[in-house]
Amino acid sequence: MSNIFPKSANKLPLQIITYLVVLGGVVTAGATYYMTPKYTRVGYAPVQPVPYSHALHAGQLGIDCRYCHSNIEKSGVANLPTAQTCMNCHNQVKKDSPLLAVVRHSFETGEAVPWVKIHQTPDYVYFNHAIHVNRGVSCVECHGKINEMDVVAHAKPLSMGFCLDCHRDPASHVREKADIYNLDSQTIAEKSGFAAAHKFLTDRNIKPPQSCSGCHR
**Res 18: pLDDT:** 85
**pLDDT for 24:** 85
pLDDT score for 180? 96
Q: What are phi and psi of 137, to 5 degrees?
A: -90, 115
- Helices assigned H by DSSP within 2-100: 12-34, 37-40, 54, 65-68, 83-90
Rounded to the nearest 5°, which phi and psi values hold at 123?
-60, -25
pLDDT in tens, the chain (217 residues): 556 767 777 777 787 888 888 888 888 777 666 556 656 788 999 999 999 999 999 999 999 999 999 999 999 999 999 999 999 999 999 999 999 999 999 999 999 999 999 998 888 899 999 999 999 999 999 999 999 999 999 999 998 999 999 999 999 999 999 999 999 999 999 999 999 999 999 999 999 999 999 999 8
Q: Please give the model's pTM, rounded to 2 decimal places.
A: 0.78
The answer to whether 115 and 80 are in contact (CB under 8 A) is yes
Instruction: Compute the distance between CA of residue 198 and CA of residue 20 in angstroms, rounded to an integer.
Output: 51
- Cβ partners under 8 Å of residue 51, min gap 6: 99, 151
Which residues touch 37 (CB under 8 Å, ≥6 apart)? 157, 158, 159, 162
Nearest Cα to Cα of residue 160 among 16, 31, 37? 37
Q: How far apart are CA 45 and CA 70, in angstroms?
A: 23
164/158 Cα distance (integer angstroms): 10
- Predicted confidence at residue 23, as pLDDT, reads 83
By C-alpha distance, which of 109, 103, 75 is closest to 90?
A: 103
